Structure 1
Amino acid sequence: MSFIFRRLFGSTPTATMDAAKVKAQQLIDDNAVMVFSKSYCPYCNKAKGLFSSLDVEYKAIELDQVDDGSQIQDALYELYNQRTVPNIFIGGAHIGGSSDLDKVDKNGKDGKSLQELLKAANAL
Structure 2
Amino acid sequence: MASPEVQKIVDDLIRTKKVMVFSKSYCPFCTKAKNALAPYNIPADDYYVWEIEHEPQMAEIQTYLKQLTGASSVPRVFINGKFIGGGDDTAQLHKSGQLAQLLQ
For the pair 1:106 / 2:91, whether they are aligned, the reply is no
How many residues are aligned here? 101
Cα RMSD after superposing both structures: 1.6
Normalising by the residue count of structure 2, what TM-score does the alignment of the two structures yield?
0.85
Give distance in 2, aligned partners of 1:79 and 1:19. 15
Q: Unpaired runs of 5+ in structure 2?
A: none
Give distance in 2, aligned partners of 1:104 and 1:87. 14
Other structure's SS at 1:64 match: helix
Identity of aligned residues (%): 36
Q: Where has structure 1 moved over 3 Å in runs of 4 or more?
A: none
Where does residue 7 of structure 1 map in the other structure? none
Which of 61, 73, 77 is residue 72 of structure 1 equivalent to?
Answer: 61
Q: Unpaired runs of 5+ in structure 1?
A: 1-13, 120-124
Normalising by the residue count of structure 1, what TM-score does the alignment of the two structures yield?
0.73
Give distance in 2, aligned partners of 1:17 and 1:78. 13
Q: CA distance change for structure 1 residues 36 and 97 in 2, over 3 Å: closer, same or farther?
A: same
Where does residue 102 of structure 2 map in the other structure? 117
Alpha-carbon distance, 1:51 to partner: 1.6
